[in-house]
């Protein structure tokens, strides 16, 4: 057992003995299916703190020759799979953490340092087959394969760190990609290659060295959706175990969605919240908001308004195909938005090709970045939102209308305020502070149309639900009538209690007062309507 060659199962054992462990061993079933097939090259890219390294430690424990991991997998999902005994501790595993090599190597000598370190362990295990001088790691592994017929499984962590952290050195990137291509592509000794990182691998200018990899990214995780983060059922079980409010947990950490799994949670943040018994910003706290600020401040036409719309609860269309899979080649706003999807700052709806801000934790990070980036108009709206909510809960329609006038004035420099969609975005921003106690739903399906904006109170707040209907060049009374006539409140997912019906109209021709507002209070449920 070595550090790189067959690292054993101690790291996975530590994960199993941790206070919180969520069983993701079903992932092994996928990799077992692809060993020694044309699908054996796998690149799974996810944001920071989404369990990438832990997955590799699990795979190392399962496949590594020279250790007995059967007891570690007792009672797990994979133990029940018929493929479990076939590959258990049956392969030589090479575990390569590229971040380590990048830190320890002299500048420009990452690959040579890697080969030196790994070859020492390879010689120790297979020196009898390497009597003649070898030209490198690939040469050594080929010779071992010819003499023994043994194949290797490659587990590569932080595969893209050279590209992310040495953005200015194209020569180093080219050298590194050539090394990986020579080590892995068309080599008979490769049984499986599983790489993880933040970025996918397809395009680095014209240098597509790793086109043999099948990619599973935040754009489309495919069969790895269930293993990307925590699922809704897994989070419900944790909330029950730690006596934490599930609605609050969802509000803070849910929001990543894929084709099959519509609710995927940030795993690191959920674990931290359960352990600390407190909801806070745990994931983004591991990295300064300056990283997000850098991309928000890029001067691409439409980028600023798209970010504002997403803060207002909207989704925006994104063309992810032009992204060059690096962190410096940006030609359009879509490239920036696509990078933010890969970094986890945005969620992505693959079928609709739309991006959105996934949850309260990430929205707070955007707010932090805006506070130091000259987004003064939006920050004024957000700071005024506490009073607007207070006026709303007191049914002070006149003050609410004045607050919306002010929000309109601030947002007009960024958004074109000419229809109910832009009106909805501005009002969602104006009620920004409500999200600490409410779940925002834009265009809630009701069976007879869509309620424009709904704020459902989180279970612990005791505050009324808010149903907001918007009109443009009509009347606030008409908006209230529509809420009633179309029975919008019946769509509030079994909600019972107090509801505020809020009708808002914007009259672009009224020079004295742009917004009008009507607020009505009703009771709904067993004792109400």
How does pLDDT run across 222-231, given as a tens digit for each residue?
Answer: 999 999 999 9
Q: Name the pLDDT band for 208 (thresholds 50, 70, 90).
A: low
Give the residue from 98, 123, 103, 112 showing the smallest Cα distance to 5: 123
- Residue 112 CA to residue 164 CA, distance in Å, equals 20
Say if residue 130's pLDDT is above 80: yes
Given pLDDT bands bounded at 50, 70 and 90, which one contains residue 125? very high
Contacts for 394 with CB less than 8 Å, ≥ 6 apart: none
Distance CA(15)–CA(297), nearest Å, equals: 39
pLDDT at site 326: 81
133-165 burial: b if 16+ Cβ within 10 Å, else e = ebeebbbbbebbbeeeeebbbbbbbbbbbbbbe
* Structural element, H or E, at residue 401: helix 397-411
**Could you tell me the CA-to-CA distances from 438 to 110, 232, 394, 456 in Å, in that order?**
50, 19, 17, 5
Judged by average pLDDT, the poorest of 204-213, 316-325, 488-497, 517-526 is 204-213
Q: pLDDT tens-digit profile of 38-84?
A: 999 999 999 988 999 999 999 999 999 999 999 999 999 999 999 99
Judged by average pLDDT, the poorest of 144-153, 162-171, 391-400, 495-504 is 162-171
CATH class of 10-216: alpha beta
Helices (H), 454-529: 476-485
CA distance 303 to 297: 9
CB-CB contact of 339 with 219 (8 Å): no
Average pLDDT over residues 106-121: 93
- Burial class for 240, CB neighbours closer than 10 Å (0-12, 13-18, 19+): exposed
* Three-class SS of 141-170: HHHHHHHHCCCEEEEEECCCHHHHHCCCCH
- Annotate 23-87 with DSSP letters as a single string: --TTHHHHHHHHTTSTT-EEEEE--TTSSHHHHHHHHHHHHBTTS--GGGGTTSTGGGSTTHHHH
**Mean pLDDT, residues 123-147 taken together:** 94
For residue 254, the Cα-to-chain-centroid distance in whole angstroms is 9
Angle at 528 between CA 526 and CA 529, to 5 degrees: 105
Strands of 150-293 (E only): list them.
Answer: 152-157, 190-197, 214-216, 230-231, 264-265
Predicted TM-score (pTM) of the model is 0.92
Distances (CA, A) of 498 to 314, 387, 398, 435, 519: 26, 20, 21, 18, 13
The answer on pLDDT for 318 being more than 70 is yes
Q: Is the dihedral of CA 222, 320, 250, 278 positive or negative?
A: positive
Q: Looking at residue 288, what is its pLDDT?
A: 56
* H or E, element range at 471: strand 465-472
Q: At 33, give phi and psi (nearest 5°).
A: -65, -25
d(CA 456, CA 113): 56
**Mean of all residue pLDDT scores within the chain:** 90
**pLDDT tens profile 371-410:** 888 888 889 999 999 999 999 999 999 999 999 988 888 8
Q: Which of 11-20, 378-387, 520-529 has the lowest mean pLDDT?
A: 520-529
Domain ranges of the chain: 10-216, 224-374, 376-524
Q: How far apart are CA 319 and CA 335, in angstroms?
A: 8
Q: Which residues of 324-334 are buried (b: 16+ CB within 10 A; e: fewer)?
A: bbbbeebeebb
pLDDT of 320 above 80: yes
Each residue's pLDDT tens digit, 274-304: 999 999 999 866 565 677 888 888 878 889 9
Contacts of 524 (CB under 8 A, 6+ apart): 489, 492, 495, 496, 497, 498, 499
CATH 1.10.10 at 376-524, yes or no:
no
Chain-centroid distance of CA 83 in Å reads 31
Whether residue 461 has pLDDT greater than 90: no
Q: pLDDT tens across 18-29, in order? A: 999 999 999 999
Residue percentage of the chain with pLDDT more than 70: 95
Supply the pLDDT for residue 87.
Answer: 97
pLDDT at 203 over 80: no
Band of pLDDT at residue 202, cut at 50, 70 and 90: low
Q: Which of 95-99, 284-288, 348-352, 406-410 has the lowest mean pLDDT?
A: 284-288
């Amino acid at each position: 057992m070595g550090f790189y060659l067959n690292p054993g199962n101690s790291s996975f054992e530590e994960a199993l003995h941790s206070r919180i462990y969520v069983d993701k061993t079903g992932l092994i079933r996928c990799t077992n299916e692809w060993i020694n097939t044309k699908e054996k090259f796998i690149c799974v890219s996810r944001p920071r703190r989404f369990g990438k390294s832990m997955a590799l430690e699990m795979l190392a424990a399962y496949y590594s020759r020279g250790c007995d991991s059967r007891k570690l997998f007792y009672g797990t999902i994979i133990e029940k799979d018929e493929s479990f005994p076939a590959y258990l501790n049956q392969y030589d595993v090479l575990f390569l953490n590229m971040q380590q090599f990048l830190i320890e190597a002299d500048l420009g000598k990452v690959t040579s340092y890697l080969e030196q370190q790994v070859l020492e362990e390879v010689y120790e295990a297979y020196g009898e087959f390497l009597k003649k001088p070898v030209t490198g790691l690939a040469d050594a592994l080929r010779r071992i394969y010819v003499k023994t017929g043994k194949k290797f499984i490659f587990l590569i962590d932080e595969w893209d760190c050279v590209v992310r952290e040495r953005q200015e050195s194209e020569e180093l990137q080219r050298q590194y990609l050539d090394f990986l291509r020579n080590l892995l592509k068309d080599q008979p000794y490769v049984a499986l290659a599983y790489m993880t990182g933040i970025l996918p691998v397809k395009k680095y200018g014209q240098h597509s060295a790793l086109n043999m990899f099948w990619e599973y990214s935040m754009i489309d995780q495919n069969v790895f959706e269930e293993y990307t983060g925590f699922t809704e059922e897994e989070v419900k079980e944790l909330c029950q175990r730690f006596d934490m409010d599930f609605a609050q947990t969802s509000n803070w950490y849910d929001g990543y969605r894929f084709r099959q799994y519509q609710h995927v949670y940030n795993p690191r943040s959920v674990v931290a919240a359960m352990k600390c018994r407190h909801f806070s910003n745990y994931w983004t706290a591991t990295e300064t908001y300056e990283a997000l600020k850098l991309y928000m401040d890029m001067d691409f036409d439409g980028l600023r308004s798209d970010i504002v719309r997403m803060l207002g609860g909207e989704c925006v269309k994104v063309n992810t195909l032009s992204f060059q899979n690096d962190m410096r080649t940006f030609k359009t706003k879509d490239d920036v938005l696509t990078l933010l999807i890969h970094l986890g700052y945005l969620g992505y709806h693959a079928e609709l090709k739309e991006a959105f801000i996934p949850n309260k934790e990430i929205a707070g990070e955007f707010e932090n970045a805006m506070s130091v980036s000259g987004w003064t108009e939006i920050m004024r709206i957000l700071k005024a939102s506490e009073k607007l909510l207070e006026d709303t809960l007191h049914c002070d329609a006149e003050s609410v209308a004045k607050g919306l006038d002010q929000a309109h004035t601030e947002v007009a420099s960024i958004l074109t305020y000419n229809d109910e969609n832009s009106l909805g975005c501005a009002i969602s921003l104006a009620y920004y502070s409500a999200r600490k106690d409410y779940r925002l739903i834009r265009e809630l399906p009701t069976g007879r149309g869509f309620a424009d904006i709904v704020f459902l109170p989180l279970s612990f707040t005791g505050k009324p639900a808010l149903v907001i209907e918007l009109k443009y060049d009509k009347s606030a009374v008409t908006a209230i009538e529509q809420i009633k006539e179309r029975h919008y409140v019946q769509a509030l997912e079994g909600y019972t209690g107090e509801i505020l019906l809020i009708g808002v109209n914007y009259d672009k021709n009224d020079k004295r007062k742009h917004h009008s507002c009507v607020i009505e209070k009703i009771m709904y449920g067993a004792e109400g309507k």
